[in-house]
Amino acid sequence: MAQTQTAPPTTGPATWQPKVVAFLCNWCSYAGADLAGVSRIQYPPNVRIIRVPCSGRINPLFLLRALQNGADAVLVSGCHPGDCHYISGNLAARRKFALLKDLLLYVGLEPERVQFTWVSASEGGRFAAIIDKVVEQARRLGPNRKLVKPL
Ligand code: FES
């Protein structure tokens, strides 16, 4: 299981912390997150991980739904090119998310709220560094309010 620091409060203007949803493929990126945890590599606790069979399995609507439900940024991470257990799922994912970024720009959302990367099972340090970067980027962008449904 991935190890994180204690989660800070995420409500109130003075205590706002970005919320990041990370979709990780089971075979590489989730194992990389797990390695970061067992290696006790610290990374921000702002990330909530969703384990999927392959990055190619992720429908771009999942990412929009996450943003709609309050995520400030979304990360998709799969196996490196050539390592996908389903041959080319990661390459299909890369094409889908490049198009999604164009769509986000078109509708007025910051495309930087969606990030795509590769992390292998042996790259716990790389996983932690990517989470640091995505959380920092989300912090710079501020709260995502454009797609969030008012209560
Ligand atoms: Fe990891 Fe396809 S199995 S991206």
pLDDT, tens digit, 9 for 90 and up, residues 16-26: 999 999 999 99
Using alpha carbons, select from 14, 17, 24 the residue that is nearest to residue 46: 17
Return the residue matching tokens 């078109």.
106
Question: Considering Cα of 119, then 61, then 68, then 100, what sign does the dihedral take?
Answer: positive
pLDDT, tens digit, 9 for 90 and up, residues 76-129: 999 999 999 999 999 999 999 999 999 999 989 999 999 999 999 999 999 999
Query: Residue 89 is encoded by which pair of tokens?
Result: 């799922």
pLDDT-based confidence at residue 147 (cuts at 50, 70, 90): confident
Q: What is the mean pLDDT of residues 37-61?
A: 97
Amino acid at 89: G
User: pTM value?
Assistant: 0.89
pLDDT at residue 50 above 90? yes
Q: Does domain 20-140 have CATH number 3.40.50?
A: yes
Probe target for ligand 1 pocket from 76, 86, 88, 122, with the most ligand atoms within 8 Å of CB: 86
Sorted by sequence, the CB contacts under 8 Å of residue 94 that are 6+ apart come out as 116
**110, 69 Cβ separation under 8 angstroms:** no
Q: Is residue 52 in contact with ligand 1, taking CB distance under 6 Å?
A: no
Cross-strand partners of 118: 78
Q: Is residue 18 in contact with ligand 1, taking CB distance under 6 Å?
A: no
Q: Is residue 78 in contact with ligand 1, taking CB distance under 6 Å?
A: yes
Distances (CA, A) of 120 to 29, 34, 111: 5, 11, 24
